[in-house]
Amino acid sequence: MAEGMRVKPDLEFIRFMKKAGGDSLKKCYQCATCSVVCPLSADKKPFPRKEMIWAQWGLKDRLVADPDVMLCHQCGDCTTYCPRGAKPGDVLGAIRAYAYTHFGFPQGLARLASDGKNLPLLVAMPALIIAFMWYLSGGMHLPEAGTAVDFGRFFGHWDWPWLTKNVFFIDIIFVPAFFFSLFAAFKGGSSMWKAMAAGLGANSGFRPSASQFATEFLLPAVVEIVQHKRFKDCGTNYDRIKGHLPLLLSFIGLFAVTGYSFMRKDVISLFVSKELAHVLHGPIPLSDPFKLLANISAIALIVGIGILWANRMRMQDEQKVSATFYDWFLIVEIMAVGVTGLMAEVSRLIDVAPLAYLFYYMHLVSVFMLFIYMPYTKFAHLVYRTVAMAFERYRESSFVKQA
């Protein structure tokens, strides 16, 4: 082989692949069955055969800049029909896991969240942060049984009527965490887009404006994701849509409820009388439409993740997928968010104060974990797959063709 054609595999990348569920790639002997049976593989841009070749060669830089890796929805058809049991879906899943770490910002946190050995630390850090803020607020205590439960006083109370102490502490914990997560996801998604664009060799001076990008590429990708069009094309693992769709809709519902709660407790309460501000800062009534939406979304979240949990267990039992920290961390984390939130509300309604406060604390910890680790765990596919689907439209557009 000529010197200019020599392949230099990244051994660290190969070791990561094996640990993240891609160790079966060595069984692949390039029959192309996977690309033929994949319902999402386009004729002009087939996958995952080329990705299997690149993975065997350890071509990390080419793989992390390949949008087709993110376009894979891990339907399972390729694994079902592979005559060698190479599990291409697991291989592409492992590549995605590596990409989230590769593009992750900051790198230290991205690497920490990528390894199951760090699980105790991943749980301990948010638990200690919430506990420290609870202690700092002066409200840390477990009320006696029979005491009326008021989560509005979890972080204590002060006399200023327009912004409660509880809302203040919730804000200073979760608002920075939310914006940090958004910024880290933006940095990672931007880095991946630049890597994918470099792979096209397109003229960087000929590119869409921000409004063109949003309307022609990003918005259609988001609409397609919400509609779950590509999941509906899956064959072997079609049942996954029964869990994935209610889970996605539950997050949309809970995001709307969070926005309503913020406006109610942080904004509107600043411009009303003390009496009305006190009402707005109290628990949202069960008859409120947004409270109804919150409860429906919470149930949908638990049901959706429960279906995905059962589906994952079945697929593992049938040896169609491998058990990985990458998959199970997110499943358990989302289930923890749903169960602790629901149990906190139930404990409040039946006035079991000590349990209510414990479940509420656990709920705050699990939500904080969901925010802070979003850009580095499987949850990041919400960002990276959206970017890849927007890029898919971009690479077929006149911006690239004319360049």
pLDDT tens by residue, 254-279: 999 999 999 998 899 888 888 888 88
- The highest-confidence range among 82-91, 139-148, 372-381, by mean pLDDT, is 372-381
C-alpha span between 278 and 161 (Å, rounded): 7
Which one-letter amino acid corresponds to residue 319?
Answer: Q
In the structure encoding, which two tokens stand for residue 33, read together?
A: 């069955």
Three-state secondary structure of the chain: CCHHHCCCCCHHHHHHHHHHHHHHHHHCCCCCHHHHHCCCCCCCCCCCHHHHHHHHHCCHHHHHCCHHHHHCCCCCHHHHHCCCCCCHHHHHHHHHHHHHHHCCCCHHHHHHCCCHHHHHHHHHHHHHHHHHHHHHHCCCCCCCCCCCCCHHHCCCCCCCCCCCHHHHHHHHHHHHHHHHHHHHHHHHHHHHHHHHHHHHCCCCCCCCCHHHHHHHHHHHHHHHHHHCCCHHHCCCCHHHHHHHHHHHHHHHHHHHHHHHHHHHHHHHHHHCCHHHHHHHHCCCCCCCHHHHHHHHHHHHHHHHHHHHHHHHHHHHHCCCCCCCHHHHHHHHHHHHHHHHHHHHHHHHHCCCHHHHHHHHHHHHHHHHHHHHHCCCCHHHHHHHHHHHHHHHHHHCCHHHHCC
Given the structure tokens 């914006």, which residue do they identify? 179
Band of pLDDT at residue 206, cut at 50, 70 and 90: low
Band of pLDDT at residue 7, cut at 50, 70 and 90: low
Q: What is the pLDDT of residue 6?
A: 64
pLDDT tens by residue, 225-253: 988 888 888 877 777 888 999 999 999 99
**Residue 203 confidence (pLDDT) above 60:** no
Q: What is the pLDDT of residue 393?
A: 92
C-alpha span between 230 and 186 (Å, rounded): 24
Band of pLDDT at residue 5, cut at 50, 70 and 90: low
Q: List C-alpha distances in Å: 347 to 149, 150, 356, 357.
A: 8, 11, 5, 9
**Residue 117 confidence (pLDDT) above 70:** yes
* Mean pLDDT for all residues in the chain: 89
Q: Is-contact 70 312, C-beta < 8 A?
A: no
Q: Residues in the chain, how many?
A: 403
**Residue 305 confidence (pLDDT) above 50:** yes
**Residue 142 confidence (pLDDT) above 90:** no
pTM (predicted TM-score): 0.89
Average pLDDT over residues 80-109: 92
Q: What is the pLDDT of residue 8?
A: 66
**Residue 1 confidence (pLDDT) above 50:** no
Q: What is the pLDDT of residue 2?
A: 47
Three-state secondary structure of 304-328: HHHHHHHHHHHHHHCCCCCCCHHHH
Given the structure tokens 């039992």, which residue do they identify? 317
Q: What is the pLDDT of residue 21?
A: 74
